[in-house]
């Protein structure tokens, strides 16, 4: 079966410090990978998605970046965090477009609560 | 751009009753509409998917309807239980790689 691991669960970082959140998927090959941010009481905001190694699409311009160094590894980074980067970050995967019946259903990790102080 | 509206007010119901949550969308009708459950501090969990040519879909105590004329989906939980208390998110498959999520409706089921 497929599993998704996301860590850390919580993180408190000072303004201006770097960030690295990691997400890995097991049990499937060539998944689509996603990073979302969720503000309190708000919907999920898609930040980045990737359909293959080294392929990153950015949805929202900001001081965050994403990388996919391996097929099932997705990393969210920042060189200098802002107060506005605080939030709940979620990694997700879906079956690749070649999967019949995939329907882009999203399978989420447990999330990372980031507080920038 | 596509927008999704879910009732931002929490829904409070008594155990055993049917909970009905609403999802309205604007612009084009998606090929698929999804519903997820999210517990506090956790990632959303997929529940049901309904296609545009399906009027209704059921899974145990859950029922979803999809009205492309009204641009609306209804999500029903019958015989609700306190364990059903959570936030329920509606999501639209854009037909590409992206899924657009609503802000969710919080459901409280009182014993």
List CB contacts (< 8 A) between B101 and chain A. 36, 43-44
Tell me the residues of A at the B interface, defined by beta carbons under 8 Å apart: 6, 32, 36, 41-44, 46, 49, 51, 57, 59, 88, 90, 92, 94, 97, 103-111, 113
Residues of B in contact with A97 (CB under 8 A): 97
Q: Which tokens belong to B79?
A: 């015989």
Q: Name the token pair of A103.
A: 């329907």
B17: phi > 0 → left, psi -120 to 50 → alpha, else beta; which? beta
pLDDT band of residue A77 (cuts 50, 70, 90) is: very high
Please give the pLDDT value at position A48.
Answer: 94
A103–B93 C-beta distance less than 8 A: yes
- In tens, the pLDDT along B50-70 reads 988 898 999 999 999 999 889
10 Å CB burial of residue A113 (0-12, 13-18, 19+) is middle
Confidence tier at A15 by pLDDT (50, 70, 90): very high
Residue B102's pLDDT is 92
What local confidence, expressed as pLDDT, does residue A98 receive? 56
* Residue B8 pLDDT class (50, 70, 90 cuts): confident
Average pLDDT, chain A: 91
B108 burial class (0-12, 13-18, 19+ CB within 10 angstroms)?
Answer: middle
Going by the DSSP 8-state scheme, the letter that residue A84 receives in this structure is G
Comparison of pLDDT for B33 and B14, the residue scoring more: B14
Q: What is the pLDDT at residue B7?
A: 83
Query: Å from B31 to nearest chain A CA?
Result: 9
| Residue A102 pLDDT | 61
Q: Which residues of A touch B91 (CB under 8 A)?
A: 106
Q: Would the pLDDT of B9 be above 90?
A: no
The 10s digit of each residue's pLDDT in A37-75 is: 998 777 899 999 999 998 999 888 688 999 999 999 999
Per-position DSSP letters for B68-107, written without gaps between them: TTTTEEEEEESS--GGG-EEEEEEEE-SSS-EEE---EEE
pLDDT confidence bin for A10, thresholds 50/70/90: very high
């Amino acid at each position: 079966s497929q599993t998704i691991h996301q860590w850390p669960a919580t993180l408190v970082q000072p303004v201006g410090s770097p960030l690295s959140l990691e997400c890995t998927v097991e049990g499937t090959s060539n998944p689509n990978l996603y990073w979302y941010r969720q503000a309190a009481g708000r919907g999920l905001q898609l930040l980045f998605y990737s359909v293959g190694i080294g392929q990153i699409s950015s949805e929202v311009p900001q001081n965050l970046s994403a990388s996919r160094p391996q097929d099932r590894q997705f990393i969210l980074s920042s060189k200098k965090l802002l107060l506005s980067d605080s939030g709940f970050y979620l990694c997700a995967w879906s079956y690749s477009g070649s999967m019949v019946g995939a329907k882009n259903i999203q399978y989420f990790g447990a999330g990372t609560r980031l507080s920038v102080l | 751009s596509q927008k999704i509206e879910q009732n931002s007010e929490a829904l409070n119901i008594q155990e055993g009753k049917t909970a009905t949550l609403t999802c309205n969308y604007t612009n084009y009708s998606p090929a698929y509409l999804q519903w997820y459950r999210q517990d506090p501090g956790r990632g959303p969990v997929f529940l049901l998917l309904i296609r545009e040519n399906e009027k209704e879909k059921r899974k145990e105590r859950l029922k979803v309807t999809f009205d492309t004329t009204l641009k609306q989906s209804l999500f029903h939980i019958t015989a609700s239980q306190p364990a059903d208390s959570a936030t329920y998110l509606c999501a639209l498959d854009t037909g590409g790689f992206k899924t657009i999520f609503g802000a969710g409706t919080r459901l409280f089921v009182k014993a």
